Structures are given as structure tokens and as C-alpha cells.
Amino acid sequence: MDRREFIASSVMLGSALATPMSIFASSTKDFTSNRPTLKKRTFVSKEVEKLMKEVKASIKDPEIAWMFENCYPNTLDTTVDYEVIDGRPDTFIITGDIDAMWLRDSTAQIWPYMPLITKEKKLKEMAAGLVNRQVKCILKDPYANAFYKDLSKKSKWASDKPSPIDGVHERKWEIDSLCYVVRLSNRYYELTNDVSVFDENWDKAMRLVVETFCTEQRKDGTTPYRFIRKGVGMIDAPPFEGTSRPAKPIGLICSAFRPSDDSTLYPYLIPSNLFAMQSLRQLAKIYSTILKDKDFAKECSNFADEVENAVKKYAVTEHLDFGKIYAYEVDGFGNKLFMDDANVPSLMSLAYLGIHDHSDILYKNTRAFLLSDNNPYFLKGKQAEGQASPHTGKDRIWPMGIILRAMTSEDKGEITKCLSMLKATHGGTGFMHEAFLKDNPEDFYRTWFAWANTLFGELIIKIYHENPSILQKNI
């Protein structure tokens, strides 16, 4: 089912939603592992297990250690379907409680394991298999955000207009979906020097990525993309017969939806455009140095420059209290939206993604704004404060937002504060969730959200390497 449909049917009141998986049983008294038994795990990596034990042993706080043990391997434990198809590895990764693969989530879900792929062949093949599967998905439909493993399966959203083609779970146009495929491909090569993933199909897919970005610049004022959905959710589909609000052609790329799968208010989503800029530069390097196509490399490089210049001109604004900051969305006519969404890419995550340095004044100013009362989606509750998302209403904080705040901080006190808030808001489950009621963390959405779980694991590993003293005390 769709995320919003799942949310509507799974509000947690007082305890975690019952699921058919026993791994989510609460055991806060003795902190017994909530991982599935070895036989029930969908993928097992010796290197991941080794690192997990090493890091866990360094964590003094027993509850944080327990949460890390549950969360870090969650993607491997519960969501991976790996096999070899036509002689090539193929990896399908569901998002968790929804039996479909998002291009965004699948990359983010295995990202914390990527540093280990050079140490274990099995893990490397799993990563390569995901690149191969994502390529199949792009070639199926570059506008879609989520897919089924069976590419002949009919969508559960057949009532959407136009109805998704077979194999597509949902057809929400989000710039970041394609960026995440580039991100994974680029990182895989950087770590392994293995060019086998850059085959003919990968090349076709990447050219389709760039073509789709170009089309969605809408320089002639038109787009072939439409998305209409029946329902009461005002942000479930773009306005104007599914084409989005008017946008002045300025060189930026229109995104009908945000990474939250909510429709945009203004079509130029700035974090996603910056992500596309980064992806285009990664493609330019791959095509220049590996695939030896100088013309396409130059096309990608010029495109990246065009996006960057447009962002600087139309999305950077002088704020009365914070100096120059980024707007979240713009339309090219001068209208700007100042907020952020906990999903990645976000303005907060720009340092995490490597688009900005932590010390960059524009990023620092923007980050200060995001963590202030001036941001309508920065919420404060009884046990935590953090970024939210229109996706879950006006009163729910996202653990992902708290995690990204810690991931982008260089202040030990702030990082410790974030860990303390995450410890206080997991609802007794030992797992991260999509969102929790700001004044009642036991009222939460989604018991099984693998991306948030492994992102928490990535945070702990980052702290272990960069600020180990934080983990050497009770939080």
C-alpha cells in the first residue's frame, strides 16, 4: 500500500502496531535483541556482524547499544531479496512495511553498509545487484518512484491517472529518485573500481535520467507528466490536473513530489535540484574518465552548472534574522517557501550528502533557521524537538530529522542531545519510526521503516569513528 494509506491504517495509540513479524516485540527491561532469528534473516553479512559487535561493545549506555543492535542490520535482516538473474546479481529491497522498492529508500537503506563492500564479496555483489535492479526500474519508467520485483505485476494504484504500467507500484515524479541511483552507482565504483555495472543498460538508463531532467526543466512551458489521485489528501497529487503550479523556466528542474512523496507547493524543489547538480557532476566524471564519452560528459557538466547558477540566483535569500539562507521551494516568479522536510534530500541533509561543507556560511545560516521557531516544521514536544514533515501532519516529529541533525553537527553537546531524544522516543520498541506525536512518543507511525533504522545505525558508527567519547558514557 501507499505510505499515506499505510499511515491512515496504522496510527499507534499506546503501543506498537501488531505485525506478523515477531522481531518488533518490546523488551526494554533486559534489552534482549529484537532481531529475527538467523534462519529468518533475508541476508547475512559477516562484515556487518563483525562491525556491529565491535561498535556495540564500545557503547556504555545499554539502551543505546540495544537500539543500535536492532537498527543497524535491519535492512539486511528483513528487506533484501538477492539472486542472480541472467548471470548478473540482482537485488530487490522493500522499504519495510510496504512490499515495494523505492529507488530512494533502497539506496539509503544499504548506504551504511557500503564502506564494507570491499571486505566481503557477498556484500559487494548485493550492492552491485541493487544497481542492476535500479537500472531495470529506470528503463521501465523514469518518472516512477517505486516498483515491484515482478515487473509484470499490476499496480495497486490502478485508479491513479494515468494508471501506472505493469511493474510500477507508484508513479510519483521525484527528482531525487533518479539521483539516488547515480549516487549508488558512483559510490560503488569509487569503492571497488569495478566497471561491470556500467554496462549497456546502465548507459541507456543514465542517458534517460539526463533526458528526463531536461524535459522537466519545462523550458517550453510543457511537460508530458501528469499525476491525479482520488482522495482527500490535499498533498497526494499536484494541482492543475496533475501538472503542478505554474513555474517560470529558469534552468531548474521541476519536481512534482518531495522525497516524502508529498506534492510540492512550488515546482522547483531546491534540495532535490542541488542533489541533481551533484549527480550530474558525478555522471560527467564517469563518462569522461571511464566511458570516454567527452560530449555527454560535457553535457552533464554544463547542465550541473546551469542548475547551480539558477539555485544561487533564485533560491538564496537574505533573511532578516539569519542572513543568506536557502528557500525550500521556489517558482521562478519570486515566490519562495521557507521550511524543510525531514526526508532526504532536505536542506538539513546537504552536508550529509556532501553538497555543502559543515562550515559553509550559507549552509550554517540555513541550518540555524531550520532549528528555530521560524521553521514551521520544527516542532518541540515534551521529550524531543525536531524536524517534521507535512506528510504526517502538524504535530509529529520525525526520528529521521533528529538523526540528520546529529549527522550534520560538529558539536558534541548537540549530538549527545539528539541521541538522548532518540532514546526517549522509540516507544519501547528499540527501532526508529516514521514519526511520533510530539508529546507522546508511544503514539507513532510505522513499526517497520528500514531506512530510518539503518540511518540510526549509520549515525552511531559515525560517532564511533569521529566522537567515540560520546558513546563512552550513559546518554
Q: How confident is the model at residue 76 (pLDDT cuts 50, 70, 90)?
A: very high
Tell me if 181 sits within 8 A of 209, measured CB to CB. Answer: yes
* Percentage of the residues of the chain whose pLDDT score is greater than 90: 92
Q: How confident is the model at residue 231 (pLDDT cuts 50, 70, 90)?
A: confident
Phi, psi of 378 (to 5 degrees): -110, 110
Which residues are paired to 337 by β-bridges?
329
Integer-rounded Cα radius of gyration of the chain: 21
Residue pLDDT, tens place only, 327-367: 999 999 999 999 999 999 999 999 999 999 999 999 999 99
What letter would DSSP give residue 249?
-
Which residues lie closer than 8 Å to 393 by C-beta, 6 or more apart? none
Tell me if 270 sits within 8 A of 317, measured CB to CB. Answer: no
Cα separation, 167 vs 327, in Å, equals: 36
Which residues lie closer than 8 Å to 264 by C-beta, 6 or more apart? 238, 244, 255, 256, 257, 258, 329
The whole-chain average pLDDT of the chain stands at 93
Q: How confident is the model at residue 471 (pLDDT cuts 50, 70, 90)?
A: very high
In this prediction the pTM is 0.93
Count structural domains, the chain: 1
Domain enclosing residue 199, as ranges = 3-471
Q: Which three cell numbers stand for residue 107?
A: 539506496
Cα separation, 343 vs 67, in Å, equals: 21
Tell me if 111 sits within 8 A of 458, measured CB to CB. Answer: yes
Closest CA to 302 of 272, 321, 277: 277
Torsion of CA 302, 308, 313, 316, to 10 degrees: 180
Residue pLDDT, tens place only, 102-133: 999 999 999 999 999 999 999 999 999 999 99
Angle, vertex CA 310, rays to CA 276 and CA 335, nearest 5: 105
Tell me if 130 sits within 8 A of 103, measured CB to CB. Answer: no
Residue 1 clears pLDDT 50, i.e. is over it:
no
Closest CA to 468 of 401, 415, 402: 415
Lowest mean pLDDT among 2-6, 160-164, 198-202, 240-244: 2-6
Q: What is the pLDDT of residue 450?
A: 97
Q: How confident is the model at residue 384 (pLDDT cuts 50, 70, 90)?
A: very high
* CATH, residue 338: 1.50.10.10
End-to-end Cα distance, the chain = 37
Which residues lie closer than 8 Å to 336 by C-beta, 6 or more apart? 266, 315, 317, 327, 329, 330
Write the CA distances from 472 to 61, 95, 191, 418, 455, integer angstroms. 8, 32, 30, 16, 21
Residue 279 clears pLDDT 50, i.e. is over it:
yes
pLDDT, mean of residues 159-185 = 97
Residue 230 clears pLDDT 60, i.e. is over it:
yes
Judging by DSSP bridges, how do beta strands 101-102 and 146-147 pair with one another?
antiparallel
Q: What is the pLDDT of residue 326?
A: 98
Q: Which residue has the higher pLDDT, 6 or 393?
A: 393
Cα separation, 135 vs 209, in Å, equals: 10
Cα separation, 178 vs 131, in Å, equals: 12
| Dihedral class, residue 12 (left if φ above 0, else alpha if ψ from -120 to 50, else beta) | beta
Residue 203 clears pLDDT 60, i.e. is over it:
yes
Which residues are paired to 88 by β-bridges?
85
Q: Indicate if the alpha-carbon torsion angle 454, 459, 463, 469 is positive or negative.
A: negative
